[in-house]
Amino acid sequence: MPIATLSEVLQPALKGSYAVGGLVTLGWEDMRAFVAAAEAENCSVILQAGPGCREHTPLPVLGKMFRYLADNASVPVVAHLDHGYTYDECALALDSGFTSLMYDGSRKSLKENIEETKRIVKIAHESNISCEGEIGFVGYSNGENSAGTDPAEAEIFANETGVDAMAISVGNVHLQENKEGGLDEDRISKIQMLTSVPLVIHGGSGVPTEQRKRLAHETNICKFNIGTELRMAFGQAMRNAVNKDVKRFDRVSILKETHDPTVAVVRRVLSNLKG
Ligand SMILES: [Zn+2]
């Protein structure tokens, strides 16, 4: 199937009242398992290259890997840059074949965030791809604190930037290993009364499963980013494979055994979000 843009998977999700998984990848083994899981569930999937992933593998290489998987998949696959912090990084992702750019200006003032996000929306739309922005600040577990999204600012941000998707801070926190981060449903309602842009929840791993499932179907949240939960599943599968035979040194034979357990966990995540 030809590669999809973020809008091409989020607009149907908005209209059909469901959400798509924005799955944080770290390498070939997990991205391949994510697509296999989406095919098994017959739903779209967003492959995300975040800062940690890019530190390990250059963007042009990741672009080729995502595109290869998309071209050979039976379901729509999006190649998404997660947390692009500079214009140059976003431009490189665009040149590398990504079909969606997230520009993260959430640490900046509203004015700067709007101006800089607008620039990325412009280059994205000129190339017929999508752009996600962030308004409010989603903090990090054991790190920076969150600043909740102000609904009035979200409306201004959506209207002035023209983003295709908007990440909001409503109780979600990055890198949570436990499901402690319940979302502020009242704030979500206020935001979606003021804008019809598809909403994105970063830090989806920390959201209780029941709430994630319900909000995927009842609100304008169209994308849940899931990283930690999947890294934990992959890490455990890899540890089991390593420990199974201490003499084994060929990493392909070890990594092969991460595939099925990872697919099983991702299928459960996607089945709760899909339409
Ligand atoms: Zn994030």
pLDDT digits (tens, 9 = 90+) for 115-154: 999 999 999 999 999 999 999 999 999 899 999 999 999 9
Task: Categorise residue 235: left if φ over 0, alpha if ψ from -120 to 50, beta otherwise.
Answer: alpha
Which of 232, 241, 164 has the alpha carbon at shortest distance from 198?
Answer: 164
Instruction: Tell how far the Cα of 98 is from the centroid of ligand 1, in angstroms.
Output: 17
pLDDT digits (tens, 9 = 90+) for 83-112: 999 999 999 999 999 999 999 999 999 999
CB atoms closer than 10 angstroms to residue 219: 18
Active-site residue set: 82
DSSP 141: T
Instruction: Tell how far the Cα of 129 is from the centroid of ligand 1, in angstroms.
Output: 20
Q: What is the fold of 6-234+262-273?
A: TIM Barrel (3.20.20)
Contact 31, 47 (CB under 8 A): yes
CA dihedral 234, 238, 244, 250 (to 10 degrees): 140
The per-residue pLDDT for 275 is 86
How distant is the alpha carbon of residue 181 from its chain centre?
17
The per-residue pLDDT for 105 is 98
Alpha helices in the chain (DSSP H): 6-16, 28-41, 51-56, 59-71, 87-95, 110-126, 151-161, 185-194, 209-218, 228-244, 251-256, 259-273
Instruction: Give the C-alpha separation, 242 to 246, whole Å.
Output: 6
Instruction: Tell how far the Cα of 120 is from the centroid of ligand 1, in angstroms.
Output: 17
The per-residue pLDDT for 184 is 97
The per-residue pLDDT for 1 is 87
The per-residue pLDDT for 180 is 76
* Spatial CB neighbours of 191, under 8 Å, sequence gap ≥ 6: 149, 151, 154, 155, 168, 170, 199
- Token pair for 64: 């080729």
Instruction: Give the C-alpha separation, 183 to 224, whole Å.
Output: 12
Q: Point out the residues of the chain with pLDDT beneath 50.
A: none
Instruction: Tell how far the Cα of 168 is from the centroid of ligand 1, in angstroms.
Output: 10
Burial class (CB in 10 A: 0-12, 13-18, 19+), 43: buried
